[in-house]
Amino acid sequence: MTEHHQPLPDLPPPITSTGVIGWMRQHLFSSPLNIFLTLLSLYVLSIIVPNIINWAFIDANWTGTDRTVCDANPNGACWTFINVRLNQILFGLYYGQHADQIWRPITAFIILAGLVGLLLLPRLRFKAWLGAGVLLLYPFVAFALIHGEWLGLPVANSSQWGGLMLTFILASVGIVAALPLGILLALGRRSEMPLVRAFSVTYIEFWRGTPLITVLFMASVMLPLFFPSGVEFDKVMRAVIGITLFQSAYTAEAIRGGLQAIPRGQYEAADALGLGYWKKTIFIILPQALKISIPGIVNSFIELFKDTSLVSIIGLLDLLNMAQTASRSIEWKGYDVEAYIFAAMLFWIFCYGISRYSQHLEKTLHRGH
Amino acid sequence: MNTKSAPLTDTYRHAPVGHHENDLEKRLMIDIRDVHKWYGEFHALKAVNLQVHKGERIVICGPSGSGKSTLIRCINRLEEHQRGDIIVDGTELTNDIKHIDQVRREVGMVFQHFNLFPHLTVLENCTLAPIWVRNTPRAEAEETARRYLERVDILEQAEKYPGQLSGGQQQRVAIARSLCMNPRIMLFDEPTSALDPEMIKEVLDVMVELAEEGMTMVVVTHEMGFARTVADSVIFMDQGEIVEYAAPEEFFENPKNERTREFLGQIL
Ligand SMILES: Nc1ncnc2c1ncn2[C@@H]1O[C@H](COP(=O)(O)OP(=O)(O)O)[C@@H](O)[C@H]1O
Ligand SMILES: [Mg+2]
């Protein structure tokens, strides 16, 4: 063993190259061109930002029940419109018109939030069983509440669903139903059986090569062709089927990436212990592969969440389209900027929240190594 | 590892009950006859013959790439041989998945890089296969696992994850994990060569103890001290062939083959 040479610790960097001042020097004022661009940007911002703040907050209209307030003060944003049409934008046409029924989607959402919160508790016992129960039973609870009929509640036909609620339903049913399909496809793509592999590859590449808007269009035009005429096929159901088939291909690719990252030694150790293909896959390979796939799956979920707006092609009104529709009603014509801003804000809150949660999940799942 | 009160394995469990066999002649556990293996064009094993009897300890050494891993990985079918027969405790290895499962249940393997399951705790690593392959009730599997973890002196780490352990500790867990399946044969593929020098002894100690209790063992290693004290026979492999096969004294004092002498000269 040679003796180790012990380097002296580095001197601390000069104060002007660290901290806020250092950062600004390095990134904003490093050359004459940069200085010019920085000053120009500051100037532009100083003109725009106060205007936005004035419009959105200081001069904005918040009160009232119709457009008279807003029309009297056209310099400010008309949040009155959002306020009055909130139920419609969040829950769709039926609940927009039946304010006394609004407790139904809200209850469904609170139950979901409660269950998810429960599942997020660390060290909860029987978590897997609870999770499976939620996955299997909750959709029926939510359907009974939101659709009605079963519990003697007035029927809210699915063609009347819309807004944030519809976006949420389409995206979450899509991702949950696509996950098991995606897992099977990813495993199939790596299978040693040529037929299984060929099927998986063809399926995945077919859906990945087709834009969602085409898928939705085909789901609305073509699905009914496969069923006897006269069978009225629910529009939301069509969208969910199309989205699930589409999404499963992306989920499969995300999971395949995870599978490829598992070292060969893991397979060999499982083989040597006598675990068969399915036990090896379920207990050893998938738990590790899914963990690695989380960022990819979440990314495609966020994309899906935003892409649900495309269901307008089959006549469904998701958050964006519902906001737009509300702003085009006779009562509120002309206030579409507010509608778009509000929809964008909700999209952002959800997508940002999901993204943060996935980062958190990756951290908590990270074990040693 | 100084408590010698309880045996490391339940050796008596494997006594061939009602087996009509001459007790003096030890039972043949591994029978490898004229085995060839190719990786594509590359001839990795050439006419290999090897018989291992119950309780025998075989050490295999040889230069890197000589086919040592390939040979012992053929014994539990991690690699498929193309010619010849491999019969493990009466079960011939063919493409029949039932035979393969049968053999894997009886043969434990310890790898150079441990290959513990990083998402499972040490205890879960040890109980997974007993529960799901042998259908052992969970409580019983955990009790067994704790007993083996205690014997490899690592019980206090049972709730940790493999990533939190040192290399030597991980390898001892890997040995305990194999033993939890109550194997009749243990295969070791360079179990100490990925370890820091100061951790080699703790792993070798466990292996010596296992050998003393009569486990049938095939060990690929370059730890010649281990070979001298523990092995019944030492094998030298080169270019896919068994070049020398001898008792340890003979092997080290009086090697017949030129390549063996060269090799021993390099590593001793
Ligand atoms: N999966 C494989 N594909 C192709 N060649 C392989 C594979 N595994 C091993 N080999 C080759 O077979 C020879 C023997 O390998 P191995 O049994 O691992 O040797 P050892 O364990 O003695 O170092 C080496 O030349 C190696 O390159
Ligand atoms: Mg090797």
What is the maximum alpha-carbon separation in chain B?
Answer: 55
Residue B1's pLDDT is 43
How large is the average pLDDT for residues B155-161? 95
Tens-digit pLDDT profile for residues A332-360 = 988 999 999 999 999 999 999 988 988 88
pTM for the predicted model, two decimal places:
0.84
Q: What is the distance in A from the centroid of ligand 2 to the CA of A74?
A: 79
Distance from the first to the final alpha carbon of chain B: 28
Q: With an 8 Å Cβ cutoff, are B109 and A369 in contact? A: no
Q: Is residue A37 part of a domain?
A: no
Provide the pairing of β-strand B83-88 with B28-39: antiparallel
Pair A229, A350 in one domain:
yes
- In the A/B pair of chains, how many CB contacts fall below 8 A? 67
Contact of B59 with B231, CB cutoff 8 Å: yes
Task: Give CA separation, B46 vs A17, A134, B203, in Å.
Answer: 66, 58, 32
Tens-digit pLDDT profile for residues B118-138 = 999 999 999 999 999 999 999
Q: With an 8 Å Cβ cutoff, are A272 and B108 in contact? A: yes
How large is the average pLDDT for residues A95-117? 92
Residue A368's pLDDT is 45
Pair A149, A229 in one domain:
no
Closest residue by CA, ligand 1 atom 1: B39
Q: Is residue A121 part of a domain?
A: yes
Identify which has the larger pLDDT, A314 or B215.
Answer: B215
Residue B15's pLDDT is 43
ipTM tops 0.85 = yes
Pair A132, A193 in one domain:
no
Pair A227, A327 in one domain:
yes
What is the CA angle B14-B20-B21, rounded to 5? 75
Pair A197, A256 in one domain:
yes
Which residues of chain A approach chain B closer than 8 Å at the C-beta?
A: 263, 265-266, 268-276, 279, 283-284, 287-288, 291, 367-369
Tens-digit pLDDT profile for residues A281-291 = 999 999 999 99
Pair A115, A166 in one domain:
no
Amino acid at position B43, single letter:
H
Give yes or no for residue B24 having a pLDDT over 60.
no
Mean pLDDT computed over every residue of chain A: 89
Q: Is residue A62 part of a domain?
A: no
In this prediction, residue A15 has a pLDDT band, given cuts at 50, 70 and 90, of low
Specify the DSSP class assigned to residue A150.
T
Other beta carbons within 10 Å of B147:
16
Pair A148, A244 in one domain:
no
d(Cα A124, Cα A137) in Å, to the nearest integer? 19
Residue of A nearest to B107 (CA): A272
Q: Is residue A39 part of a domain?
A: no
Counting ligands in written order, the one closest to the CA of B62 is: 1
Tens-digit pLDDT profile for residues B37-78 = 999 999 999 999 999 999 999 999 999 999 999 999 999 999
Pair A197, A271 in one domain:
yes
Q: What is the DSSP string of B128-143?
A: HHHHHTS---HHHHHH
The boundaries of the domain holding residue A144 are: 99-155
Enumerate residues 6+ apart whose C-beta is below 8 A from A222: none
Closest residue by CA, ligand 1 atom 10: B39
Q: Is residue A270 part of a domain?
A: yes
Q: Is residue A70 part of a domain?
A: no
Give yes or no for residue B243 having a pLDDT over 50.
yes
Pair A144, A228 in one domain:
no
d(Cα A86, Cα A164) in Å, to the nearest integer? 10
Tens-digit pLDDT profile for residues A173-225 = 999 999 999 999 999 999 999 999 999 999 999 999 999 999 998 888 877 77
Q: With an 8 Å Cβ cutoff, are A269 and B115 in contact? A: yes
Identify which has the larger pLDDT, A162 or B14.
Answer: A162
Residue B41's pLDDT is 94
Closest residue by CA, ligand 1 atom 26: B65
| Cα Rg of chain A, angstroms | 26
Tens-digit pLDDT profile for residues A68-102 = 888 888 888 999 999 999 999 999 999 999 999 99
Pair A300, A320 in one domain:
yes
Identify which has the larger pLDDT, A252 or A315.
Answer: A252
Question: The tokens of B91 are what?
Answer: 């079960």
